[in-house]
Structures are given as structure tokens and as C-alpha cells.
Amino acid sequence: IKRYDGFSDNLAVRLGSYQAPGPNDSRGPCPGLNTLANHGLINRDGKNLNSTEIKLAFPRGFGIAEDAIEVALHNWEVVCEYIKGTTCGTAANDGTFILTNLTILGEPHAFEHDHSYSRQDYRQNWAHGGITDNIYFNSSEMQSGLDVVGYTPSNPPKVATANFQQFNEIRLQRESIQNQRDFPGWFQQNVPPTLFETGFIFGATFDRDSSGKMKGSTPLARLDWWNFWFSEESFPTQLGWVPASTEVFNSHFCTSVSSAVLNAAVTSLPKSLPAGATATTFPPPANLPEGDPSPTLALFQSAPYAAATSPAAIK
Ligand code: HEM
Ligand code: MN
């Protein structure tokens, strides 16, 4: 079934309209899911999300083919079960499940991992015993990656892109920074999901024509689109973005990008890299283990990023 076919050619219809979340809406560490919720392609409150709807909403919003989100969907269910201590599947056990809300995906060291591109780690900055916001977009962390390639959102060049090598350099810089910044003993290097998410970034932002087909034979990530998507949690249509063509943005695309980024030779290495950071074998994206709930750490609790930073919320 090509579920991703048949969406309206009218982008305003296909992509819905952006509404910032309110303080009681739920958002999480995934810029993809947050964007879908902000556009009403999944429940705007970010709660009681059905896996069947997610499978439809990602292709509709981002143009991603369904086969590329299987691992993520599986891991979502596992995290849901960790937190609830019970199955998140339906009574009929027909393979669909309900995720309580987007915020629980921020359970640290479960699906959520350290050295994200745009989020802080759960214990960093020597917050003795305290916890840090590992869930919402953080412009300083994002900028530390953009700095590697000299990109400034406030004064952007007309079109700036990053290739595989540059993304590997950004990725290594993020590892190095967080390795130094985290509370001693906290940092865990988690390369496979980071690289898989890098595949998502390339799929969502590769330079393309107006029908979503890739320009050139190697994807180049548009930094203006990447920064807009992450910081606004909205589709960068005003910058000329359209959803990718699903023939391009599929599972094979994501894993090829993952290993190409990992294998791209870099010209220099940041200091204080954890051991193994430059290994070039890319293990296939791993399913989180099913079974006993992992010991859960308290979730970071606060209003969603856009709710907390929108002018109305700042008194
Ligand atoms: C990050 C969940 C699908 C884009 C994350 C994280 C979670 C998550 C838990 C946090 C990892 C971290 O600590 O950085 C999910 C689930 C999905 C899904 C449950 C499907 C059911 C997608 C898709 C895209 C996407 C299809 C792109 C279109 C990203 C990106 C990051 C991310 C780029 C990394 C953010 C960063 O490094 O700052 N996702 N995700 N996700 N997700 Fe998703
Ligand atoms: Mn993280």
C-alpha cells in the first residue's frame, strides 16, 4: 500500500497550518513529531497518539516513506511501556498502539540519548543531582553545530548547504562538547540513533526541486531549512521547502546517509572525543530491548518550547 500517495498537491491543505502549542499541550525531543503536532497532522495536544496516524502523518508532512519509520515506531512503543509499566498496544493486539504523550519520549538514556544536535543532555553543566532540559529545542546547542560550518541564522547566506563530511564534523563536535559538559559518569556515546537521525535530517532538508526531487546525485542538507524546522518546529515552506519525494526519502536513503556521514573523512578532530567516536562501521539502527521496564528517571517537566517562548507566554 502506498499510503503516502494521494495527498493534496495544495501544500496548505497537505501540511495544515501552524499553531504554537499552549502550556498544557505535550511536546517532546523529536522535532519531527513536534512539527506534526504543531500543524495538526497528529493531535495538536500531543497526547493519545495512535501509531496508525503517525504512519500516515510522517509521509504526509515530510514525504518520508513508511518503511523508514518502523524502528522509531518500535522504540516508541518500548519507551511507552517502560513508563507505563504495561503494554501500550491495543486490546486486540493488532499491532497498533497508543502513545500517552510526546513528552515521555524524553525519558533519558532510553530512546532519548546524549549529544543530540539541538538539545542539552539530562545531566550537564555540573548540575549536581539536578536535571537539565533534555527535551526542548536549545538554540545554543544547535548553534554549536552550525558554528562548525560557519552558518549564522541571523545573517544567512542565500543558500548554504552541508555535505556528509560537514555533518560528520558537526556530529563529532556535538559529541566532544557534551562529553566535556556532562556531569561525570553521565555521558553515554550513542552513535547509531544519532546517525539515523542524521539520515532523517538529510531526508527532510536535502536540496530539491519544486516537486521534492533531489538536486544533484548526492544529498546536500539545506542549513536554512534545517534551522527553521528545528527552531520553529514547523515546515520551512516560506524558504521554498516542499516535502521530499517518497521515492527518495525511504529507509534505504536514511541508512545510506548514516553510513556515508560516518565514513566521511574529516580534516580535523575536536578535542576530548570519547573513545570509538570515529569508528566507521554503522550498525543497523537497533531496536530497544523489549521486556522489563528500565528504571525510570524523573522526566524534565516544563511547558513546551514554543509555548514557553512565544510572546504571549512571556509576561
Ligand atoms: C530525535 C522519536 C520519527 C527526526 C528523536 C528523539 C526521539 C524521537 C525520542 C530524541 C533523541 C535525542 O535524544 O536526540 C521519534 C519517534 C518517531 C520519530 C517515536 C516515529 C514514530 C522521526 C522522523 C523524523 C525525525 C520520521 C524526520 C522526518 C528526528 C531528528 C531527531 C529526532 C532529526 C534528532 C534531534 C536532535 O538531534 O536534536 N526522535 N522520532 N524523527 N527525531 Fe524523531
Ligand atoms: Mn538527546
Q: How do residues 33-50 score in pLDDT, each as one tens digit?
A: 999 999 999 999 999 999
Instruction: Tell me what pLDDT residue 249 has.
Output: 95
Q: Is residue 308 part of a domain?
A: no
CA–centroid distance, 294 to ligand 2, in Å, is 17
- 5: pLDDT strictly greater than 60: no
Q: Is residue 2 part of a domain?
A: no
Residue 197 is a catalytic residue: yes
What string of DSSP letters covers 242-253?
-PPPTTTSSHHH
97 lines ligand 1 (CB under 6 A): no
32 lines ligand 1 (CB under 6 A): yes
Instruction: Tell me what pLDDT residue 310 has.
Output: 59
Q: Classify the complex by whether its ipTM is higher than 0.85, answering yes or no.
A: yes
Confidence of residue 90 (pLDDT cuts 50, 70, 90): low
Ligand 1, residue 116: give the atom nearest the CA.
37
Give, as one character, the DSSP assignment of residue 212. Answer: S
Ligand 1, residue 204: give the atom nearest the CA.
28
199 lines ligand 1 (CB under 6 A): no
Pick the closest to residue 51 from 70, 23, 28 (CA basis): 70
Confidence of residue 91 (pLDDT cuts 50, 70, 90): low
Domain CATH number, residue 52: 1.10.489.10
Q: Which of 175, 197, 232, 233 is catalytic?
A: 197
What is the domain count for the chain?
A: 1
Q: Is residue 311 part of a domain?
A: no
Q: Is residue 144 part of a domain?
A: yes
Q: Please state the rounded mean pLDDT for residues 131-151.
A: 96
Ligand 1, residue 201: give the atom nearest the CA.
33
**Ligand 1 atom 19, closest CA:** 76
For residues 222 and 219, what is the distance between their CA atoms, to the nearest angstrom?
9
For the chain, the average pLDDT equals: 90
Q: Is residue 66 part of a domain?
A: yes
Confidence of residue 127 (pLDDT cuts 50, 70, 90): low
Q: Please state the rounded mean pLDDT for residues 182-199.
A: 94
For residues 315 and 312, what is the distance between their CA atoms, to the nearest angstrom?
7
Q: Is residue 30 part of a domain?
A: yes
CA–centroid distance, 106 to ligand 2, in Å, is 8
Of residues 286 and 143, more confidently modeled:
143
Parent domain of 98? 15-277
For residues 162 and 31, what is the distance between their CA atoms, to the nearest angstrom?
19
Q: Quick one: 161 exposed, middle or buried, by C-beta within 10 A (0-12, 13-18, 19+)?
A: buried
Q: Is residue 122 part of a domain?
A: yes
201 lines ligand 1 (CB under 6 A): yes
Q: Is residue 64 part of a domain?
A: yes
Instruction: Tell me what pLDDT residue 3 has.
Output: 40
